[in-house]
Chain A
Amino acid sequence: MSEAILTATGVSKHFGGLTAVDNVDFAVHPGEVVALLGDNGAGKSTLIKCISGVYRPESGTVIFNGADITHQPPADIRSRGIETIYQDLALAENLDVGANVFLGKEVTRRLFGLLPVTDDSYMRQEASGVLDELDIHIPSLTQKLVNLSGGQRQAVAIARAMYWNAQLVIMDEPTAALGVPEQRKVLALIRSLREGNIPVILISHTMHDVMAVADRMVIMRRGRVVANILRSDATEEIIVRHIVGSAENGENAVMI
């Protein structure tokens, strides 16, 4: 396998007496979809936030593209190409697709060569280009997002990450709020990211999604990585056993 684009080594994060992430090693390689699995409180979200810079780990290092990003602020980490798409998507639903792809980075032109105004047609056109690349069809680009479906909004969030040259996309429960057809479309988007050689870290509770798109599954339990399984070796049963802990020892054994 090619060299890892992201390497987290010995990362730990505590909240008071609670060890949320305990000496975790975690790596992502170009063009792979890594599913991060585990029960609630296993430490998945905390680990992700240590990578995206929302939390500062107490120990360990995070290397991205050869640079140490361990204690950098979230905005700097984003500008290096790690895009996190949260469940709430962080979109302005009262605005159209172009405005959302360019949120906070609006392009302006000079009206009468003098007054700077937002260049909406340019932004719409660029947004349309990246949506085409991802094979996403949105009926009208002038529509406000509030009029789009959940899957379309997810697509806009992904398109925004793509447009700003994301080199690693982290997705937190991307299909949780969607209906079945929309879930399929989001999974198709994840595959097209992989085809573009952009790795994806996917946090999901939906076993079906994981089995459908992940190349590798990293399973966390009580703050530790307890299993690292290639898709070819994985069955739902093995994964669930690791998640609930019955794979390492006899206790907590649960019949599935």
Chain B
Amino acid sequence: MALGTTSDKAKRQPLVNARFVEFLTQSWSYLFLLGLVVFFSLTGTGFFSVRNFSSILTTSTLIMLMSIGQTYVVITAGIDLSIGWTVGLSSVTTARVMRDLAAGGADVEYAMLAGVFAGLLVALVPGLVNGLLVARVKVPPFIATLGMFGIVRGAAFLLTDGQQVVRGLSAELREALRGIGNGSLLYHIPDHGLVWFRQPPDLEPTQIRQVSQLLPYPVLITALVVVVFAFILARSKFGRHTYVIGGSEEAARRSGINVDRHLIIIYVICGFTAGIAGVLHLFRFTAGAPQAGEAALLSSVAAVVIGGTNLFGGEGDIMGAVVGSLIIAVLQTGLVILNIDSIWQFIVVGVVIIIAVLVNQLQTALERLQSNV
């Protein structure tokens, strides 16, 4: 006797527009992003321009980088509340190492390289401790990373002696940081056309205002990180095991997956992408700031959820988080261009998060109806 007859029966009486609803629930965030872009392009002067789009992409990198690691964690039914301060810790550490090495007479390039290395390395520490607490000591992720939230915050401020920024970065160092943080691989300049690598230094002030960055370095770096981690999650054995753990930790253990080790690596990845965000933040703003990622933490969780990743684990992808980050960045920029108080951005993002969760639930309910169990 063949199994499957019950669901065959269910298929004979299809839900009205089930396919359409399924399409909507799976791709609403993409459509919503498109809708926002169209809306702001029609209503806001200056929104629809290469210059503005490039600025939106650059703005989105902070949240996007944080949301990449966060996606991995959330798929395992966890959450990492500490990465906002990991961004700051990494930014501050990078700034200090660069400053001190440069002050000690090292080449700027060498100081920068060592600083970046230190900033990325230090970001792995909270991730590692989070992972150990969650996997080995079985502390709920919310609590473990909330504790780490406080610890990393304190550590970041200790490194600046309680100041809002790391003081004493030399002008030469700042210039070099800006070259990457505010630079672009490709520029479009009226009367000059396309220019690679560097903005010509002899531009008129009016020309400078019309320069478009076609491939800003922060965006390129973020894109690279997105591609690498999206590939690992979607295609590799490691990615598959991440979904297995999110679906059923018990099934993962019984099938021989080393769940503890896997969870530790995932929290380290989450610290790592926050570390990249911290280093980039320093390059963009040339000031090592403990609170660099403070506001972005909840936005990164929002981006993950808006992108369709299930907070109960087992479902989600990096592209969702990318779209979620872009939605937040478009809202931020669009509301400013429409001259609406930027406070409204919080309210709109809040509403979008709730819609995202409702759509996710609708999808689950729909699947249940279809399978008719």
Q: Do A and B bind each other?
A: yes
Q: Please state if B247 and A139 are interface contacts (CB–CB under 8 Å).
A: no
Q: Which residues of A sit under 8 angstroms from B236, Cβ to Cβ?
A: 108, 115-118
Q: Are B4 and A139 in contact (CB under 8 A)?
A: yes
Asked if residues A103 and B244 are in contact (CB atoms below 8 Å), the reply is yes
- In addition to A94-B243, A181-B6, 14 A-B residue pairs with Cβ atoms within 8 Å of each other are A90-B251, A91-B247, A92-B248, A94-B314, A103-B244, A104-B255, A111-B235, A116-B236, A116-B237, A148-B7, A149-B3, A150-B373, A151-B3, A152-B7
Within 8 A of B (CB), among A91-144: 91-95, 99, 103-106, 108, 111, 115-118, 135-139, 144
Q: At the interface, yes or no: B252 with Cβ under 8 Å from chain A?
A: yes
* A230 close to B (CB within 8 Å): no
Tell yes or no: A58 within 8 A of B by CB. Answer: no
What residue in chain A is nearest B367 (Cβ atoms)? A147
Residues of B339-367 at the interface with A, using a CB-CB cut-off of 8 Å, are: 367
Distance in Å from the Cβ of A82 to the closest Cβ of chain B? 13
CB 8 Å contact bits of A211-226 with B (1 = contact, 0 = none): 0000000000000000
How many residues on A have C-beta within 8 angstroms of the other chain's C-beta atoms? 39
User: Are A92 and B373 in contact (CB-based, < 8 A)?
Assistant: no
Q: Does A176 contact B (CB under 8 A)?
A: no
Is there a chain B Cβ closer than 8 Å to A188's Cβ?
A: yes
Interface pair B250/A88, CB less than 8 Å apart: yes
Which 3 A-B residue pairings sit nearest by Cβ, starting from the closest?
A104-B255, A92-B247, A94-B314
User: Closest residue of chain A to B253, judged by CB?
Assistant: A90
Determine the chain B residues whose CB is within 8 A of the CB of A139 once the complex forms: 4, 7-8, 11
Distance (Å) between the CB of A250 and the closest chain B CB? 44
Measured in the bound complex, the distance between the Cα atoms of B250 and A89 in whole Å is 10
Q: Is A210 an interface residue (CB 8 A)?
A: no
In the assembled complex, the CB of A177 is this many whole angstroms from the nearest CB of chain B, namely 11
Chain B 236-271 interface mask (CB, 8 Å, partner A; 1/0): 110111011011101110111100000000000000
Q: B251 is contacted by which of A103, A138, A148, A184 (Cβ under 8 Å)?
A: A103
Please tell me if the beta carbons of A104 and B257 are within 8 angstroms of each other in the complex: yes
Chain B 1-25 interface 0/1 with A at a Cβ cutoff of 8 Å (1 = within): 1111111100100000000000000
Q: Does B370 contact A (CB under 8 A)?
A: yes
Given known pairs A108-B237, A139-B11, A146-B367, the reply for A152 and B4 (CB within 8 Å) is: yes
Shortest CB distance B75–A (Å): 9
Which residue on B lies nearest to A192, using beta carbons?
B1
CA distance A92 to B315 in the complex (A): 11
Q: Contact check, B256 vs A93: say whether CB atoms are below 8 A apart.
A: no
Partner among A91, A103, A105, A136 whose Cβ is within 8 Å of the Cβ of B3: A136
Interface of B is mostly: helix
In this assembly, does B371 line the interface, its C-beta being within 8 Å of a C-beta of chain A?
yes
User: Smallest CB-CB separation from B315: which chain A residue?
Assistant: A94
Against A, the Cβ 8 Å flags (1 = close, 0 = not) of B319-350 are 00000000000000000000000000000000
Give the shortest distance, in Å, between B197 (CB) and chain A (any CB).
29
Tell me the bound Cα distance from A184 to B243 in angstroms: 32
Which residue of A92, A95, A135, A148 contacts B1 across the interface (Cβ within 8 Å)?
A135
Selected from A75, A95, A149, the residue in CB contact (under 8 A) with B7 is A149
Q: List 11 A-B contacts (CB under 8 A).
A: A90-B248, A91-B247, A91-B251, A104-B244, A108-B237, A118-B237, A136-B4, A138-B4, A144-B367, A147-B371, A149-B4
CB distance from A73 to the nearest CB of B (A): 11
A28 in contact (CB, < 8 A): no
CB interface residues, A 50-104, toward B, < 8 Å: 75, 88-95, 99, 103-104
In the complex, the answer to whether A185 meets B3 with C-beta atoms within 8 Å is: yes
Given contacts A117-B236, A181-B6, contact A104 B370 (CB under 8 A): no
Distance of A148 Cα from B373 Cα, bound (Å): 8
Is B1's CB under 8 angstroms from A105's CB?
no
Q: In the bound complex, do residue A118 and residue B240 qualify as a contact, i.e. CB atoms below 8 Å apart?
A: yes
Contact with A along B179-223 (1 / 0, CB 8 A): 000000000000000000000000000000000000000000000
Q: Give chain B residues whose Cβ lies under 8 Å from the Cβ of A90.
A: 248, 250-251, 254-255
A residues in contact with B248, CB < 8 Å: 90-93
Contact: B6 with A149, CB < 8 Å? yes
Q: What residue in chain B is nearest A186 (Cβ atoms)?
A: B3
Question: Does the CB pair A152–B243 fall under 8 Å?
Answer: no
Q: What is the minimal beta-carbon distance from A66 to any residue of chain B, in angstroms?
A: 25
Asked if A105 and B247 sit within 8 Å, CB to CB, the answer is no
Contact assessment for A106 and B1 in the assembled complex, using a CB-CB cutoff below 8 Å: no
Interface centre among B239, B241, B246, B248 (most CB of A within 10 A): B248
Chain A residues whose CB sits within 8 angstroms of the CB of B3 once the complex forms: 136-138, 149, 151-152, 155, 182, 185
